[in-house]
Amino acid sequence: MALATRTDRRPSFTRTVWDSSLGKKTVMAVSGLIMLLYLVVHMFGNLKIFFGAGDFNHYAHWLRTIGEPFLHYEWALWIIRVVLVLAVVAHATAAYQLSRRDIRARPSRYVHAKPRSSYATRTMRWGGIILGLFIVWHLLDLTTGTVHSGGFQSGHPYQNVVDTFSTWYGDVIYIVAMLALGLHIRHGFWSAAQTLGAGSRTRDRALKTIANVLALVLTAGFIAVPVAVMTGVVS
């Protein structure tokens, strides 16, 4: 009599972690912190526009020469782009799957009203969608020049930024997205700290303060550029 062959296989550790809600939240937390680090650096780079076209264009050129001669031209920039794309995809996928899991777990309305949550918490999903759409527009505007107004000039990022923020819709899109970003960071940083085990009863106040400060500084720092162009400080 032939023995039955066992065909079922235990899922891998990676798959087990990913399938769990904690695993998805951990992926969201880590990918969110990677993007937050990039945003801090990106904001400081953007503020160089206040030092004039020469400094800003030189900074943009430097980004393409990082690591030379060990790395070829733009290699470091492409590595950064790939890491960011992976972080964005992982973050968005985990957020979507957690959202669907949450909906399936509560198919009917609550019998009792839920406690009122903060505005940032209630708009996290819509904020994520707004930011996702903004990233696509931002790349098409200032990276590829596909939707750029005034004629995209490769190698002249200062003029391209001024062109974008010389239009009312460029300002509106950017400012709305940055406000959504601030709300997203305000809630997301604190949530990431809780997921990664950094939160506690004694540290919660400090973590919330850090989240608020980060959200305020990044929002103000990014919005300062279109406001400067609108008011003629940068031209």
pLDDT in tens, 127-184: 888 999 999 999 999 999 999 987 889 889 999 999 999 999 999 999 999 999 999 9
Cα pseudo-dihedral 129, 32, 58, 48, rounded to 10: 80
Identity of the residue numbered 60? A
- Please identify every stretch of the chain with a pLDDT value under 70, giving residue numbers as ranges: 1-8, 106-122
Residue 102: what pLDDT? Answer: 75
Q: How far apart are CA 127 and CA 99, in angstroms?
A: 14
Torsion of the alpha carbons at 161, 165, 167 and 168, rounded to the nearest 10:
160
Alpha helix ranges (H) inside the chain: 13-19, 21-46, 53-65, 75-105, 119-122, 124-142, 157-164, 168-195, 204-230
* Residue 185: Cβ-neighbour burial (10 angstroms; 0-12, 13-18, 19+): buried
Q: Distances in Å between the alpha carbon of 173 and those of 29, 43, 94, 127, 210?
A: 26, 17, 26, 13, 27
Residue 116 CA: distances (Å) to CA of 49, 74, 171: 41, 48, 32
The pTM is what?
0.86
Is-contact 214 164, C-beta < 8 A?
A: no
pLDDT at 19: 78
pLDDT of residue 166: 94
